[in-house]
A and B are shown apart, each in its own frame.
Chain A
Amino acid sequence: MRHLLSTADLTRDEAVGILDLAEDMADVATRAVPKLPTLRGRTVANLFFEDSTRTRLSFEAAAKRLSADVITFSAKGSSVSKGESLKDTAQTIAAMGVDAVVLRHSASGAAQVLAESDWIDAAVVNAGDGTHQHPTQGLLDAYTLRKTLHADASRGRDLDGVRVAIVGDVLHSRVARSNVWLLTTLGAHVTLVGPRTLLPMGVGAWPVDVTTDLDAAIAARPDAVMMLRVQQERMHAAFFPHEREYASGWSLDDDRFARLAADTIVMHPGPMNRGLEISARAADSPRSVILDQVTNGVSIRMAVLYLVLSGSDPREAAA
């Protein structure tokens, strides 16, 4: 795998392969020395043009468990605020000798642009680009679903027939987009739920069901509900009137939580707005796998870094 840019690029077998590899990586964490020498001597640059401590730390942990060196660039207080471009920043970091770039950027398509340009020759892993994709989040969600449903029998399996409701601000959510393509590629059946203002125009072309009625979606007894984070600033742009009205329609509150089937998996990519899109009871319940998602994120990112950094190096092939 040269880059990881979008879950829409993955075939079923590629996706299952990544999840299986993440199983191996998860085993490493349980050993006497929870570290592999695999990427010794290789350097991973975390280029975070947009703040995200969680994702940055997760990639950093993944890289370090594979013995890669990690250098981190974060936009705050850096030259980006002085107007340095993606191209210049990426080339500057690449000039320091970097084998992979983990890119977080507020512009949709930034990872694609960097990967397809001739600006740098490092592998590019998309760690979230605008409102487009966050493929490792999609993968870790798929991994978490598979692990929760199939436990030790997970290897080699997809998500055939698994029914997932994704609820909330789909319009602005790269997590939702990554999950829509990945989960459906893996055979899952996805229903998107949210107010019309937060569902994209053109969503009808996606391979999913769409509804505005969360209660109906819950009554359909999904295997998992994934609650998306609601950005507080959305209400100022007239996407919904205020928090209480949003919560009454699209929050996984105690009442809706009680109506879920006993084995329904509750997911959230974090960080959560407790009391807004999800109640504390739902978030902290045994059905919630929210902390598993975080743990699994490291395994998935180890697998992805291994895949983009192993295999024939194009630079050596050219030499």
Chain B
Amino acid sequence: MTTIIIRGARPLAGDPVDLLIEDGVIAERGSGLSRARATVIDADGLVALPGLVDLHTHLREPGFETSETVLTGTRAAAAGGFTAVHAMANTSPVADTAGVVEQVASLGAHHGYATVRPIGAVTVGLAGERLSEIGAMARSRAAVRVFSDDGKCVHDALLMRRALEYVATFDGVIAQHAQEPRLTEGAQMNEGEVSAELGLAGWPAVAEEAIIARDVLLADAVGARLHVCHLSTAGSVEIVRWAKARGIRVTAEVTPHHLLLTEQLVADGGGDPYTSYDARFKVNPPLRRDEDVQALREALADGTIDIVATDHAPHPVESKECAWQEASFGMVGLESALSVVQTAMVDTGHFGWTDVARVLSRVPAEIGRLSGYDAPFEQGSPAHLTLIDPASRSVFGVGSLRGKGVNSPYLGRELPGRVVATIHGGVPTVIDGALRDAEEVSRG
């Protein structure tokens, strides 16, 4: 395994330090470090962040390899500064058995770009009827701790209650996609003034808020922990805030796009290359109002929302090159996440790089029960880290996307920040801003 010396990086934008990486861990930190045959990364002026952890990634494999594979998805992750991703269960076959989750985890381990932590389905086939083999998945080599029917809501209250209770047995958590199905039949975009004018069926905020309210009460009643996926409305923030004040064990995530983009983009596209009704803005939950964006930023800053998760959802081009109603929901997000968080949170003064590390690394790892992320940069800790240049600005383009999906809502937009290097367990996956070859990374 390579020995690496990172020279002059500023952990969490603090004072510059040298880091020596050996055998996959931070072997030493200090100044003027040197080792024979070490690869030296000159990180003068760069900010060192812990390796980013995504709690919400769609890798599409098995079943939808035309959209993404474990390899292409983890390459996109590495390019975005991530060293671990949680792979959602809505594959084909659905990740509802030990066999599927072990396969996904081992593909990730083989490629080496990022740790792949499979998420198990809550119900068989995501059908919302019977619990899947939660225990078997938890005890498998994939050691699943997060369970979700993401894409679908576990809307049956009894099933949700049982799931919450049952996963507690394995120290697991239910990550709920909060969407009341009847209130969102045929829903296309946020319900409100814009949907009224565009004639698109509305996805009302209450459909999310009603489920979150019910679920925090259920979690309280059975004493289990609950994670809320991609929270998107100001009202949801209020409910989570209330629940946390009551001591209910709830955590919540927000996506980068909900921190930056609003429903107005559906109407006007925001400029080249987008136009009105551009399906690249079609996402579930939908882009909301500006008031919601502001409330989400404040909630992330004050800790009401615990983490940022990408909901990276690659789709083939034809799923977006069509009429809005016929398009698939979802955006790719791994490659742009850090830049968008910098835009929405850091450059706006909501919080600093220590908080970025909290919401994009330490806490998502905690929720996912992923070890090795609790003390980054400390001697002996696994060497998962990311070097970024926050002062860099560039236009985000298709070339910035490293997975298979090009369904990004940020094309043509100038974004700050650049991932210069990503190191996963001591193995560089990105050097000088470029992904390393799959073979090199796989060898370690």
Contacts and interface: CB of A to CB of B under 8 A. Distances in A.
Interface of A: 8, 85-87, 105-110, 112-113, 116-117, 129-133, 174, 177, 200-206
A205 B196 contact: yes
A113 B196 contact: no
For B188, B192, B197, the residue with the greatest tally of chain A CB atoms inside 10 Å of its CB is B197
Contact of B322 (A113, A129, A131): A113
B193 interface: yes
Contact of A108 (B278, B318, B322, B324): B324
B192 A130 contact: no
A109 to B, nearest CB: 3
B198 A203 contact: no
A109 B277 contact: yes
Contacts of B276: 109, 112, 116
Contacts of A112: 275-277
B199 A201 contact: no
Given A108-B200, A113-B277, A200 B195 contact: yes
B199 A116 contact: no
Nearest to A130: B199
**Leading 5 A-B pairs by shortest Cβ distance:** A109-B277, A132-B199, A107-B323, A202-B193, A200-B196
A130 B325 contact: yes
22 contacts: A8-B197, A85-B321, A86-B326, A106-B325, A107-B325, A108-B198, A109-B198, A110-B323, A110-B325, A112-B276, A113-B279, A113-B324, A117-B321, A130-B325, A132-B198, A132-B199, A132-B200, A133-B199, A200-B195, A201-B196, A202-B191, A202-B202
B200 A109 contact: yes
Contacts of B260: none
Contacts, number: 88
A201 B203 CA distance: 11
Contacts of B195: 200-202
Contacts of A113: 275, 277-279, 322-324
Contact of A107 (B204, B321, B326): B326
Nearest to B186: A237
Contact of B192 (A87, A129, A202): A202
A166 B201 CA distance: 21
A153 B324 CA distance: 43
B194 interface: yes
A181 to B, nearest CB: 9
Given A107-B323, A107-B324, A200-B195, 15 more contacts: A85-B322, A86-B326, A87-B321, A107-B325, A108-B199, A108-B277, A112-B276, A117-B275, A117-B321, A132-B200, A174-B199, A201-B195, A201-B204, A202-B195, A206-B196
Contacts of A105: 323
A85 B326 CA distance: 9
A204 B204 CA distance: 16
A191 B65 CA distance: 52
B165 to A, nearest CB: 33
Contacts of A202: 191-197, 202
A129 B199 contact: yes
B187 to A, nearest CB: 12
Contacts of A110: 323-325
Contacts of A174: 199
A86 B198 contact: no
B196 A109 contact: no
Given A85-B326, A116-B276, A177 B197 contact: yes
Contacts of B204: 201
Contacts of A107: 323-326
Interface string B309-326: 000000000100111111
A89 B310 CA distance: 35
Contacts of A8: 197
Contacts of B326: 85-86, 107
Contacts of B325: 106-110, 130
B199 A131 contact: yes
Contacts of A206: 196-197
A122 B34 CA distance: 67
Nearest to B202: A201
Given A112-B275, A116-B275, A202-B192, A87 B322 contact: yes
Given A85-B326, A86-B326, A108-B277, A205 B321 contact: no
B324 A109 contact: yes
Interface in B291-342: 318, 321-326
A130 B277 CA distance: 13
Nearest to A170: B196
Most buried by A among B194, B204, B323: B323
Interface in B270-300: 275-279
B388 to A, nearest CB: 36
A66 B204 CA distance: 46
A268 B66 CA distance: 49
Nearest to A203: B196
Residue in A129, A202, A206 whose Cβ sees the most chain B Cβ within 10 Å:
A202
A205 B264 CA distance: 14
Contacts of B197: 8, 177, 202, 205-206
A211 to B, nearest CB: 17
- Residue among A109, A204, A206 with max Cβ neighbours from chain B (10 Å): A109
Nearest to A174: B199
A129 B188 CA distance: 15
A110 B275 CA distance: 12
A187 to B, nearest CB: 20
A201 B195 CA distance: 8
Contacts of A204: 193
B182 to A, nearest CB: 10
A110 B276 CA distance: 10
A131 B318 CA distance: 23
Nearest to B200: A108
A256 B277 CA distance: 40
A138 to B, nearest CB: 13
Contact of A201 (B192, B278, B322, B323): B192
A151 B274 CA distance: 44
A205 B197 CA distance: 9
Contacts of B199: 108-109, 129-133, 174, 177
A87 B204 CA distance: 30
B79 to A, nearest CB: 28
A285 B169 CA distance: 74
A113 B201 CA distance: 17
Contacts of B324: 107-110, 113
Contacts of A87: 318, 321-322
A117 B324 CA distance: 13
A133 B267 CA distance: 14
A117 B200 CA distance: 20
A203 B198 CA distance: 11
